[in-house]
Amino acid sequence: MITYQLIHSLSEAQPNAHLIAPSTSQPLPDSTLINEMRATGNIADACFGCAPFKRITLIPPALWQDNLTDGLLKALRPLFATPASARVIIDIRDIHEAVLLQVLRFLFNQVYRLNDLQLKTADNATVRLSHIDALCLPGQQEALEIIFRQQQAIANGMVAARRLADIPSDCCTPQFVADQAQALCAAFPTLRCEVLNEQQIVEQGLGLLHAVGKGAACPPRLVAIHYDGAADGPVRCYVGKGITFDTGGLWLKEGAGMYTMKYDMCGAANVLGLLLSAAELNLPVRMMGVLALAENAIGPNAMQPGNVARACNGMTVEINNTDAEGRLVLADAIAWTSQRHPQARYIIDMATLTGAVVKALGYELSGLMTQDESLRDNLTRAGKKCGDEVWSLPLDARLQKQTESAIADLCNTPTNNAAISASAAWLLHHFCPATIPWAHLDVSGTALWREGGKSVASGRPIPLLMQHLFNELAVEK
């Protein structure tokens, strides 16, 4: 656990900490070193002659207001790759709100590293961040105390999701994810888990989830996590794609495209992390998170192109591409969720669904597809406020031909290979009743953090969805 303290003077901080501040920060000592660092006009970093600090980093003030290009985060990342001190002092007296939230989540996420999985021989002497001193104005204290508490809880949920997603798929099977969800939820009395095994999945008519998972040695699971933070009221529902490894099935992926496919369960992992964050903050709401877990493998029982499977709402889907499996498990899970809570406030699903959304939006924006204008507006505003942004893509009847099938109600991919992301969302919308607001988040570009040719789980869009909850609760007060 990383501890923190809000301070109003540098004298309140313990010595030998790493001081990070805008180059224009007034409380900085009037010394030759500081003046020389300020004069560079760029990021200036010093580890010698910094007493009483261990290290000093001055960053141009423009980056503290840059809520568009993540400039401050880009400056901070290399500093924490090899920290000079377990304690950091950061001047947050003049910083854009969205940038502050991003920075706090980044700092609190330092509690976890890939080495924590103990799969690589590591140097245990490596310095780890353990304490944050935040330099603020007295008038900012009350609001910042709330912000720090919220962002640490969000980061804790992100860490739980990231750790789970980073585990190799030979260990991280559908049953393993279900076990981890039960173990993590057991720490909170407001959380409870139910798990459907492969037999129950068939008995409850989840034919699409069954079709995807039946080819694997590790059978599918459906996990429902219930959060009872309030005695009554509408249930907010979240559904996550949990393909623990995606070979593409008989529509086999090439090797390079398969390398990161252990991360095809990030949607499910992030649903789990979201509910853990809500429970840590004791949010006064009711929520349900549904994790649709399966391994898309090649085997004697693997689904075949041309197969037709029936979802739990009775609709049939022609599987004309076995590598479009994510929308199949999501469709069943969305329909199942709507049956459990026909009066749900909304259903939001999240998935690493299509590479096409990365081509459209890149790695910074999640794709948002919905026909509910209120939900679209609220999610967009929440993303801008917290720095975990979405961009809306079209979703209307012009996509109807993209999912037409001659033999079934729907087909799972468009035969013309066009509008892949929006077509997937058009398929999904058939599985949520029109009476329940629904939104689809394609996080293929944002669920991973890519740096230096390597990819690791990012924990997005947990910040977006938590901010969405905060905004809703603020309106309801």
Cβ contacts of 434 within 8 Å, gap of 6 or more: none
Residue 3 burial (C-beta neighbours within 10 Å; 0-12, 13-18, 19+): exposed
Residue from 418, 416, 413 nearest 403 by CA: 413
How many residues are listed for the chain in this entry? 477
Instruction: Tell me the three state secondary structure of residue 366.
Output: strand
Cis link prior to 52 (omega < 30° from 0)? Answer: yes
* Catalytic site includes residue 327: yes
Instruction: Tell me the three state secondary structure of residue 472.
Output: helix
In sequence order, which ranges of 40-139 are alpha helices (DSSP H)? Answer: 71-81, 97-108
Residue from 206, 271, 278 nearest 238 by CA: 271
Answer for the pair 250, 302: CB distance below 8 angstroms, yes or no.
yes
Angle at 125 between CA 73 and CA 115, to 5 degrees: 60
Answer for the pair 122, 115: CB distance below 8 angstroms, yes or no.
yes
Residue from 217, 195, 215 nearest 204 by CA: 195
Name the one residue in this structure whose structure tokens are 């979201």: 274
Q: Cα separation of 37 and 31, whole Å?
A: 10
* Cα-to-chain-centroid distance, residue 321: 27
Q: Is 233 left (phi over 0), alpha (psi -120 to 50) or beta?
A: left
Active-site residue (options: 163, 327, 376, 460): 327
Active-site residue (options: 38, 253, 340, 345): 253
Query: What DSSP designation does 129 have?
Result: -
* Catalytic site includes residue 38: no
Q: What is the largest CA-CA distance in the chain?
A: 78
Answer for the pair 128, 86: CB distance below 8 angstroms, yes or no.
yes
The tokens of 170 are what? 């030979």
The residues carrying an active-site annotation are: 253, 327
